[in-house]
Structure 1
Amino acid sequence: MTLQTLNLMPGDKPFRADPKNSYTLPARFYHDAEIWAAEKDAIFYKTWYYAGHVSQVAEPGKFLTVKIHEQNVFVARSRTGELNAFFNVCPHRGHELVSGTGKKNIITCPYHAWAFDFDGNLRSARNTENVEGFRKEEFSLKPVKVEVFCGLVLVNLDENAIPFAEQMGELESEIRHYVPSVDDLQFAQRDTYEVEANWKVLMDNFLECYHCAPAHHDFVDLVDMDSYRTITCGLYSSQCAGQPRTMNARAYKFEAGDVDFGYAGWFVWPNFTIWAYPGEANLSVLQMNPTAPEKCVEYQDWFVKDGEVTQQLRDAINYQKDVLQPEDIGLCESVQKGLKSSGYNQGRFVVDEGLTELSEHAVHHFQKLVAGALGARLDPEAEQ
């Protein structure tokens, strides 16, 4: 990649490997259209992307769809029980095959009625029996790599991708430690948020709790911040609190259950996060989906036992939906405006020796992954 904007430019301070001695990524990384376009190939078309939950495709014929920038994919359960993923496009003339989620006996293109099974084979194509040399096997759907991880369905457009579980090291054992009944959880609901900010602004915000005390009063009432620690681990990071501050918090009230800690959250490269709140067994995914250099759609999917939301879980979900998310969205949209200001280009990471709940080392970890994926050269000493 040869974009000049990816390299150190006049006025830039160095982005260094050591977070204690580094400035943040320059502001242009959060609004430059060329950088945003470069991220598609360098990041999103080469990494594992959250698509949904295995409970949404538990039966033969059930499917879900996911869009990765311009690339549309569907995941479906075949008649023999296999979970398959394909590019969501008809090989005849390019029409989209399915949308949303649902269940079908066969996939029929709405344009010319070409029909495919859930193994991707072309089963029928009207009038092609009269086309000389036509061979159905030449028009199978193009497969996409798919995996299930702790109930999460993940897809990857890179056919040579390393398996997700292999990339993520101890992530599965961490999730199962905090939510031991994760295999019993089912999809409950999706909440959608449209945000006027670059997707990386939202990721940066998730990855530090330096802002929690001034901005999230109910969260710090719920969680024991003295035990809140963030640990970076390759392509993910964890941020967990050992215990709740109270079970009678302003955020919501709960009794000790399967989830008996204060809070557990994980960032997963490149653009989704996993959450577990204290109380009854639960897990959620908050995914940041870029739609423009300065716009993003967030999806938060909730998974609970048997897919049924109890009153306690409803209170937790409503707190996230009505309080915490609006607080964070307001912060991120204000940051996005500031990133366009002539008075700002870079800040410094606040990283203390103890890597406490106030430390921003995980933000640096994420920004380093971004810079590395893009091939950015922002540290003059590293080039010597």
Structure 2
Amino acid sequence: MFSTIGRLVNARLAFRRVFSTGRSAVFQIESRLLDNRVDQQELREMVHRYDPSVPIERAITPPSSWYTSPAMYKLEKDTVFKNNWLAIGRKDQVKRTGQYFTSNVVGEPLVVCRDLQGQLRAFLNVCCHRGMPVAKGEDTVSQFDCSYHGWSYALDGRLLKATKMKGIQNFKAKENGLKPLAVTTWGPLVLVKMTGNSADVENNGLQLEKVETVLKQLDYDPDTEDIVFVKRSTRKITSNWKTVVENFSDGGYHVEVAHKTYTDSYYAGSTVRMADVNEYFTVQMAETNQNNPKAETRIGKISTYIYIYPNFMISRYGPWVETITLFPYGYDSTDFVFDFFLDKSFFQNKPRDEVRNFIDESVAISDKIQDEDDEICEGVHFGLMSSAYDAGRYVPRVEMSQYVFHQRLAKELRGHWSL
């Protein structure tokens, strides 16, 4: 009798524990949903604090929270970096059949390859079984093999082999391939897009005709193979990616102050000008200091610096074509990839040592300038984190590029709530 009563008591206590635990779990879920609604409301208010319709003469810049908020970075991942063409590598990295390279863009692991039919392909670098990357670094292979459980994929993304699958039900190999991405090339670059397909590039927002016109005037045609890759360098800075873009494309506003030593010897600083500004790209030009005979050898008579929304730049100066690709890794961390190319004609009738010395000296100058820019961007980011700063004003005559950049961002960020 007592054992029966004991079992009834224990059962009632167990039911209370289950009910209590279940009710607690429900409350926790409801709490998280409420927190998410609050976060979304705060994020929406943050985005709408910047009004892109106000003329530049009266406009206030985006608030510092656009640069210091992890939630804003997450929103940018879901909008800016999801819906636009992104530069991620070089065309010469996938020149041959089976050649591939990997990349990481705002937390998404990617692999780009040339398949057995010679077609350019891009995929999320994730095995469908447990999420392990199927490729590392860059190499040449005949297929992708997951190093975790041995699943294999063709270079066109098809699942070739899934190991020890006896007894599995409702599994179709054709539904478990690598997830494809849109991919295209422009000049020396490979670009991918997280949404859509590779067809109809222009209608997907990659409008570069004017950029190509400018470059052709400077003796570089992106449609030809007349440049040679010579060097890559990388660096990481503690700064939001938008600060880097703003510094690069400020119409030379900072150049005479921050790069004074260089501008005095190489550039006529007062000649820096913005040649074109629109929501897709900006074009800046600067004339060479005619009093320095070494300057023209390195940078020619005029240098052109182009920012292309959202994450890459291309510069043309002298025999050089330089590309810069930005890879944000958080609201406060940005990786740079610098690729340096030289005109093929530059190598003609020159000793190897002379070419090597020219490359080393020129890249060293570029590195010094970038050191100064890194210090600026990290300093600005440190200031944006301070309670002393919230938002600023534009200098209308020279900061139209930042203004247009912020307008484009605002449009895309606000679009998140209109889907």
The answer to whether residue 212 in structure 2 is matched with residue 212 in structure 1 is no
- SS of the residue 2:382 aligns to: helix
Counterpart in the other structure of 1:196 = 238
Match of 1:338 in 2: 383
Structure 1, gaps ≥5 residues long: 353-358, 378-384
Instruction: Answer whether contact 1:17 1:368 (CA < 8 A) is retained.
Output: no
Structure 2 counterpart of 1:233, one-letter code:
N
Q: Is residue 2:262 matched to residue 1:225?
A: no
The aligned runs of 1:109-188 (5 Å cut-off) are 109-128=146-165, 134-159=171-196, 163=201, 166-180=206-220, 182=222, 183-188=225-230
Deviations 1:3-58, CA, capped at 9 Å, x for gaps:
43443799x78654422221211111110121111111011111111111111110
Q: Distance in 1 between matches of 2:291 and 2:84?
A: 38
Q: Give the Cα separation in 1 of the matches to 2:386 and 2:142.
A: 54
1:27-106 equivalence runs, <5 A:
27-106=64-143
Are the counterparts in 2 of residues 23 and 348 from structure 1 also a CA contact under 8 Å? yes
Matched, 1:370 2:414: no
Give 1:65's aligned amino acid: T
- Aligned match for 1:246, one of 290, 293, 300: 290
Matched residues in 1 for 2:289 and 2:50: separation? Answer: 40
- The alignment partner of 2:131 has SS state of coil
Matched to 1:317, the amino acid is V
Deviation at 1:223, TM superposition (A): 2.3
Aligned position for 1:237: 282
Looking at secondary structure, tell me which structure has more helix per residue: 2
* Distance in 1 (alpha carbons) for counterparts of 2:405 and 2:361: 31
Amino acid at match of 2:207: Q
Letter in 2 for 1:374: L
- Match of 1:159, SS state, is coil
- 2:291 matched to 1:272? no
Alignment partners' CA distance in 2, 1:198 and 1:135:
43
Distance in 1, Cα, partners of 2:301 & 2:117 = 40
3-state SS of the aligned residue for 1:143? coil
Aligned residue identity for 2:232? R
Q: Deviations over 1:200-246 (max 9, x none)?
A: 111111111111111102442322334422121231111112x3123
User: Which has the larger displacement, 140-149 or 283-292?
Assistant: 283-292
C-alpha contact (below 8 Å) 1:13/1:346 kept by paired residues: no
Distance 1:2 1:119 in 2: 39
Relative contact order, higher structure (CA 8 A, sep 6+): 1
2:59, 2:282 → 1: CA distance? 19
Change (3 A) 1:126 1:160: closer
Q: Is the 8 A contact 1:16 1:23 kept in 2?
A: no
Given the alignment, which residue of 339, 344, 369 partners 1:324? 369
Is the Cα–Cα contact under 8 Å of residues 224 and 262 in structure 1 kept in the other structure?
no
* Contiguous gaps of at least 5 residues in structure 2: 1-38, 348-354
**Same amino acid, percent of matched pairs:** 25
- Secondary structure of 1:98's match? coil
Shift of 1:134: 4.9
Counterpart code for 1:246: Q
Aligned-pair CA distance for 1:68: 1.5
Contact 1:149/1:172 (8 A) holds in 2: no
Report the TM-score when normalising by structure 2. 0.78
Counterpart CA distance in 1 for 2:125 and 2:168 is 25
Distance 1:128 1:300, change over 3 A: same
Question: SS in structure 2 opposite 1:148?
Answer: strand
Rounded to whole Å, the distance in 2 between the matches of 1:44 and 1:149 is: 18
Aligned partner of 1:361 in structure 2 is 400
Q: One-letter code of the match for 1:93? A: R
> How far apart, CA to CA, are the structure 1 residues paired with 2:97 and 2:56?
48
2:396 paired residue number = 351
Q: Deviations over 1:259-296 (max 9, x none)?
A: 73421111111122112222x2x222222222122222
Normalising by the residue count of structure 1, what TM-score does the alignment of the two structures yield?
0.85
Find the counterpart in structure 2 of residue 381 from structure 1. none
Comparing 220-229 with 92-101, greater Cα deviation is found at 220-229
1:294-330 Cα offsets, whole Å, 9 max, x none, are: 2222221222346986432332211111x11110111
- Residue 314 and residue 179 in structure 1: after superposition, are their counterparts in 2 closer, same or farther (change >3 A)? farther
Q: 1:13 to 1:40 in 2, by over 3 A?
A: closer
